[in-house]
Amino acid sequence: MLRIYDTRARQVEEIAAGRALRMYTCGPTVYRYAHVGNLRTYVLSDLIRRTLERRRVRVVACQNITDVGHLVDDTADEGEDKILAQARAERRSPLEVARFYEDAFKSDTNALNVRPPEHTPRASETIDLMIELIAGLIEKGHAYAVPDGSVFFDVRTFPAYGEISGNRLDALKPAHRIDTVDPRKRFHADWALWKPAAEGELTWDTPWGRGFPGWHVECSAMSLRFLGSSFDLHTGGIDLRFPHHEDERAQSNAAAGHEVVRHWVHGEHLLFDGRKMAKSTGNVVLLSDVVAAGLDPLAVRMAFLEHRYRQQMNLTWETLRAADRTVRRWRTRVAEWSESVSAPMATGYAERVESAFDDDLDTPAALRILRELERDDAVAPGAKFETFLHLDQLLGLDLSTEIGKARVLPAGAGELLEARSRAREARDWAASDRLRDELAEMGVRVADTPEGQTWT
């Protein structure tokens, strides 16, 4: 079974899944395009899913859409809602902005072969769940309302706070200077579950007054509703470990009365050309930029596979070009192998690759094994074909896309191929090499195999 690093336990643990497993992934805040660093998180969740499903485990996945409540500065419960700020900048309604970037996100994840989750609740459409959760937390003494209509989580009622990130309450400092600590809070580390606001497109009526939800409470409400009061896996980027996941865990556990999430799994940061990928640094690469550069979007997925998910990764254009070449080469080889005599799968290689995935998603090791298989002349082409296609269920690289495509030779290439075949029969190696070069200039790649000359 899959063994994976649990951030809270600080060790690799076996995922004790039965016939079904429930997994929650923190989804996007849909106010801008997701960059490839953001997308790494969703490929991680997809790899977990594919690895478990290979073991015949049914995965029920939930991934929220944050279209309200995520402020410009959530660490201090200050600033404008990111959706509203973007709507004003683009002179569109908040709903138009949110749906546009939600569609763009789904298009990107589809292009990366990320399987869609069973549940994709929107925050704006599940406000009733959040209000119900907040009311329950107040009733249990874990939250308190203040006169202006705000509701805060009382973090000191949850002594286990900090077990995911290591940020214990007694060591936490206020986000700003001590003399600017919010006087409405009982303790500086308390956070807003509900925020007051005047009339507006993104506000709702509650027992505490009109307003909108805090960002952290959204994930608690939606995960508890769609996955139940106890589920197996919670994934996200390492940047969400604190405070988002700490706050979410405190809310969910306080509401349920027990530990809700069995395993917390986080993917590491992605750098580009050695710098953090963020809008603030001007170092953002979108999936559309990769496609505009003439690369297959699945080159991004291949580049991710070349690194462990919990290893900080430095992506470069050269890395992406190399990944693109590998994806295209493997597709060509699979198409070539498909024309060979059928043979049983190379089970030894397949088992080694599957074991690498089971071992905390050691995808770099899996790729090394596949390259070894590609070069192994002792394995029949038909067996390579069966093995690569079988393992592509884990890889998600669409390695079968070249199979069956019509191959049309450029004008005159057929005659050159026949001439080269005759030259090889006559052992005229100089002529054979010269004709190979001429064909290469025409875009035809020739390979010599024990069965004879082949071309692509």
Q: Which tens digits make up the pLDDT trace of 34-89?
A: 999 999 999 999 999 999 999 899 999 999 999 998 887 766 666 788 888 888 89
Question: At what angle are helices 317-337 and 298-305 packed, to 10 degrees?
Answer: 100
Q: Number of structural domains, the chain?
A: 3
pLDDT at position 77 = 67
Same domain, 296 and 201: no
End-of-domain residue from the set 227, 249, 267: 267
Query: Of 296-300, 345-349, 393-397, 450-454, where does mean pLDDT reach its minimum?
Result: 450-454
End-of-domain residue from the set 214, 233, 267: 267
- pLDDT tens, position by position, 97-120: 999 999 999 999 999 999 999 999
In 3D space, the residue among 272, 228, 276 whose CA is nearest the CA of residue 252 turns out to be: 228
Q: What is the residue range of 198's domain?
A: 3-267
In 3D space, the residue among 2, 6, 1, 4 whose CA is nearest the CA of residue 264 turns out to be: 6
pLDDT at position 417 = 85
Same domain, 17 and 152: yes
pLDDT of residue 148 exceeding 80, the answer is yes
End-of-domain residue from the set 205, 237, 267: 267
Same domain, 279 and 302: yes
pLDDT at position 326 = 96
Q: Which residues pair with 204 in a beta bridge?
A: 211
What is the pLDDT averaged over residues 210-222? 95
Q: What is the DSSP letter of 31?
A: S
Residue 48 in contact with residue 23, Cβ under 8 Å?
yes
404 in any annotated domain = no
Same domain, 33 and 136: yes
- pLDDT tens, position by position, 278-329: 777 778 999 999 999 999 999 999 999 999 999 999 999 999 999 999 999 9
- Cα gap 405→425, rounded to integer Å: 29
Report the side by side order of strands in the sheet with 143-145: 143-145, 151-153, 191-196, 211-213
Coil, strand or helix: which one is 24? strand
400 in any annotated domain = no
- Cα gap 155→391, rounded to integer Å: 46
405 in any annotated domain = no
Share of the chain above pLDDT 90, in %: 74
348 in any annotated domain = yes
pLDDT at position 175 = 60
pLDDT of residue 454 exceeding 50, the answer is yes
- Cα gap 417→285, rounded to integer Å: 43
Question: 406: pLDDT confidence band, cut at 50, 70 and 90?
Answer: low
In 3D space, the residue among 355, 337, 340, 342 whose CA is nearest the CA of residue 391 turns out to be: 355
401 in any annotated domain = no
Same domain, 43 and 59: yes
408 in any annotated domain = no
pLDDT at position 177 = 46
- Cα gap 300→307, rounded to integer Å: 12
Q: Structure pTM?
A: 0.86
Residue 322 in contact with residue 305, Cβ under 8 Å?
no
Q: Taking the mean position of all CA atoms in its chain, how far away is CA 207?
A: 37
- Cα gap 37→53, rounded to integer Å: 25
Same domain, 260 and 178: yes
pLDDT at position 76 = 62
Residue 65 in contact with residue 102, Cβ under 8 Å?
yes
* Vertex 242: Cα angle to 284 and 87 (nearest 5): 45
Give me the chain's average pLDDT, please: 92
Question: 427: pLDDT confidence band, cut at 50, 70 and 90?
Answer: confident
Same domain, 65 and 186: yes
Same domain, 89 and 139: yes
Question: 409: pLDDT confidence band, cut at 50, 70 and 90?
Answer: confident
* Residue 256 belongs to domain with CATH number: 3.40.50.620
Same domain, 49 and 183: yes
Same domain, 261 and 291: no
Same domain, 261 and 116: yes
For the CA atoms of 141, 146, 149, 155, the dihedral, rounded to the nearest 10 degrees, stands at: -50
18 in any annotated domain = yes
Residue that the structure tokens 């410009």 belong to: 72
pLDDT at position 154 = 98
77 in any annotated domain = yes
Q: Which residues pair with 6 in a beta bridge?
A: 11
Query: Of 20-29, 135-144, 176-185, 334-343, where does mean pLDDT reach its minimum?
Result: 176-185
Coil, strand or helix: which one is 78? strand
- Give 175: exposed, middle or buried? Use CB within 10 Å, 0-12, 13-18, 19+: middle
Feature table: binding site: 26, 219, 244, 248, 279
Same domain, 391 and 417: no
Query: Of 10-24, 192-206, 354-368, where does mean pLDDT reach its minimum?
Result: 192-206
Feature table: binding site for ATP: 279
